[in-house]
Amino acid sequence: MTPQKPDTTEIAIVGAGPAGVAAAVIAARAGAAVTLLDENTNAGGQYYKQPTLAESGHKYPNSLASNIQQGRELLAGLNHPGIDLQCDTLVWNVSPEELVLYLCGPTGARALQAKRIIFSAGAYERVMPFPGWTLPGVIMAGGAQLLLKAQGLLPGRRFLLAGTGPLLQLAAVQLLEAGADIAAIVELQPRAEFLRTASKLWGHWDKLGQGIANQKKLLQAKVPIKYGHTIARALGENEVSGAVIMKVDGDGIPTPGSETTLEVDSICLNYGFIPATELPGIAGCTQYFDYNFGAFATKTNENLETSVAGIFAAGETCGIGGADVALLEGQLAGAVAARQLGLDPETDEAKLCQKQLQARTVAASLGKMFPVKPGLCALATDAVPVCRCEEISAGEVRAAIRMGVVQLNQLKPWTRVGMGRCQGRICGEILRQIVAHETGLALQEIQPFTARAPVKPVLLEEVGGAVADTGELTWEDHVGGYGVART
């Protein structure tokens, strides 16, 4: 291992989704040298994921085709000499003081020093556990969408979509158009509540219009939408062969005796999204609790600057908002970052700010429409695994909570939850719900797992390889004292 000087760039953007791409395009057009990093093979993120299939006449459902087309137009902007797009590149650590990102990718491990960093890492889908949720055949609705979009694959034949939120209906339409059979859509929110809160979108015709169009298509296809229901169990020995759904009350507690069994071979879940805040977390950016979506997110000011100098956050990372918000925030962050470097992005940031705030307001109302209800934790009976990597059951977690272990960081060593390969990305939010349900603590009182490097597991040789040149520093005589023998 020879220490090497970090590569340098002016603006480093982590995540090439709508926000990252928009930021890169604006900043590069203003004249900044931009490095756009993404761990996926292609830019576009999840929302604008582009088909990997050859273009040879594969016919996409209408609802997907327009999305793919929009994405293609956006991504065309990346064809700019100022943008260095590096895909298949994982950013696994960040040094906030020097604004250095640690990468590993096709060309090995490197360090990248930037003058400004924009985190636009997107979000993860939220899942709630129930008996059978780890069976093959249970996937996330967004995952099903991606298989369809990127690979043209249908993950099953007969589907149940369960959870809460607008994605369920959209995904159902897309699956339907691709030729799938939809057994039912199970929406957690009761119909009356859904209609009442939907009125808050009055005036936001595009969102409302999309929703109504989706409903219309589902109605035409005679897809039953079960409001006020939840999936209670996935049936099957080695893979999903059916699902049991149940009515829930206002708190999300399943009503005994209301079980209905459906015959399906694929269950798609979605309970909303959780911001990906690992890198801002490692950098020490202040986090806040987003009450609209019930999750911690990165705090920014109106210019999308985080609490750490030189670091911006845009899109889902600073609170769930959807692609529209992400595009606006990407532009804003890119423009502000470029201007701070003495360039002129030729945009009106004040106007962007205003538009972004409006879009955030709409997103917030959508978020409030589909809260995750803590009563759902009752579905995760003691034998149900909640940490898949370490195979820790809900019962073990509850036993720990009874011993007074009420913070995620305390649960971790006590039960080994979150210690596995996913590093708590999947179980973290499940645990927060369970602790809140068991102890009566508010969700925001339960702190997330401490964010630590590596963001995702990396080879030791990649860690050892990405050494920033810090002058005389070697492992033998570290300035801080590493290498001093003590007894």
Partner 1 sequence: MADYQADVIIVGGGIVGCATAYHLTRAGADVLLVERDGIGSGASGRAGGGVRQSARVSEEIPLAKASVALFPGLSDELGIDIEYIQAGNLRLAESADYRRPMQVDVARQQSHGLDVSWLEVADVVEIVPALRWQNIVGASFCAEDGHCNPFRLVTGFFNKAAQGGARVLLNCEVQNIVQTDSGQALVETPSHTARAPVVILAAGFGSQALCYQIGYDLPLANVRYESMITEPLPPLFQQMFGVASSDLFFRQTSNGGVHFGGGILEETGQEDIRTTSDNLQMAVAHISQLVTDLERAKLLRTWGGLDPSTPDGMPIIDYLNESVLLASGFCGHGLATGPIVGHHLAQWVLEGTRPAALAAFNRDRFDGWLQTKWTPSGSFAAVLATEDTQIAGSGAPGEGIPFMTPPPYEDSDETSGPRKLAINPQMCTGCRMCEVACAIKHEQAATQVQLRIQVVYPSDDFFLPIVCIHCEEMHCLKACTHEAMEINEQGVVSVIRENCTSCMECIFVCPTGGITHSPAKAAVVKCDLCDGDPACVRYCPSQAITFRHIDRPAYEKLATLMTDYLPARETR
Indicate the SS3 state at residue 110.
strand
- CB nearer partner 1, residue 165 or residue 418: 418
287 binds partner 1 (CB under 8 A): no
- Sequence-ordered strand ranges (E) for 96-241: 100-105, 108-119, 123-125, 138-140, 158-163, 181-187, 225-227, 229-235
Q: Which stretch binds partner 1 (CB under 8 A): 7-15, 228-236, 261-269, 476-484?
A: 476-484
Q: Which is nearer to partner 1, 350 or 403 (CB)?
A: 403
Residue 9 CB, nearest approach to partner 1 (Å): 18
Listed in order, strand segments (DSSP E) in 57-171 are 83-86, 90-95, 100-105, 108-119, 123-125, 138-140, 158-163
Which residues on adjacent β-strands are paired with residue 245? Answer: 231, 260
Which of 35, 42, 63, 93 lies at the binding interface for partner 1 (CB under 8 A)? 93
Give whichever of 90 and 269 is closer to partner 1, judged by the CB atom: 90
Binding test (CB under 8 A) with partner 1, winner from 54, 59, 460, 472: 460
- Does 464 engage in binding with partner 1 (CB under 8 A)? yes
Find the shortest distance in angstroms from Cβ 317 to partner 1: 21
> 60 vs 16, 140, 152, CA distance in Å?
23, 20, 8
What is the rounded distance in angstroms from the CA atom of residue 135 to the CA atom of residue 68? 31
- Does 421 interact with partner 1 (rule: CB under 8 A)? yes
Closest distance to partner 1 from the beta carbon of 119 (Å)? 17
Residue 90 sits in the site that holds partner 1 (CB under 8 A): no
| Residue 198 is a binding residue for partner 1 (CB under 8 A) | no
Q: Using DSSP bridges, classify how beta strands 229-235 and 266-270 pair: parallel, antiparallel or unpaired.
A: unpaired
Window of 63-71, 173-181, 352-360, 450-458 that interacts with partner 1 by CB under 8 A: 450-458
User: Does the footprint of partner 1 cover residue 399 (CB under 8 A)?
Assistant: no
Q: Which is nearer to partner 1, 194 or 414 (CB)?
A: 414
40 binds partner 1 (CB under 8 A): no
Query: What's the CA gap between 58 and 439, in Å, rounded?
Result: 52
How many chain residues are in contact with partner 1, going by CB under 8 A? Answer: 46
Q: Tell me how far apart the alpha carbons of residues 162 and 82 are, in angstroms, rounded to a whole number.
A: 44
- Tell me which of 419, 425, 438, 444 binds partner 1, using CB under 8 A: 419
What are the distances in angstroms from CA 332 to CA 37, 70, 163, 290? 18, 20, 33, 21
Give the residues across from 225 on adjacent strands. 185
Angle made by CA atoms 68, 71, 72, in degrees to the nearest 5 = 85
Instruction: State which residue, 100 or 225, has the beta carbon closest to partner 1.
Output: 100
User: Is residue 288 involved in binding partner 1 (CB under 8 A)?
Assistant: no
Residue 453 binding partner 1, by CB under 8 A:
yes
Q: State which of residues 95, 134, 215, 358 lies at the interface with partner 1 (CB under 8 A).
A: 95
487 near partner 1, judged by CB under 8 A: yes
Q: Which is nearer to partner 1, 100 or 253 (CB)?
A: 100
CB of 455 to partner 1, least distance (A): 11
Residues in contact with partner 1, shown as a per-residue x/- string from 97 to 136 under the rule CB under 8 A: ---x-x----------------------------------
Annotate 422-434 with b (16+ C-beta within 10 A) or e (fewer): bbbbbbbbbbbbb
In the complex, the smallest distance separating the C-beta of residue 99 from partner 1, rounded to whole angstroms, is 12
CA distance 345 to 333: 11
CB-CB contact of 184 with 160 (8 Å)? yes
Establish if 407 lies at the interface with partner 1 (CB under 8 A): yes
Q: Of the ranges 300-308, 315-323, 353-361, 417-425, which one interacts with partner 1 (CB under 8 A)?
A: 417-425
Dig out the tokens for 15 from the structure.
């995540």
Cβ neighbour number for residue 98 with a 10 Å cutoff? 14
What whole-number distance in Å separates Cα of residue 142 and Cα of residue 67?
A: 14
For residue 43, is it left (φ>0), alpha (ψ between -120 and 50) or beta? beta
CB of 388 to partner 1, least distance (A): 15
Instruction: Give the HSE-up count for residue 322: Cα atoms under 13 Å, Cβ half-sphere.
Output: 17
Residues that bind partner 1 (CB under 8 A): 1, 93, 95, 100, 102, 403-407, 409-410, 413-414, 419-421, 423, 450, 452-454, 457-461, 463-464, 466-468, 470, 473-476, 478, 480-487
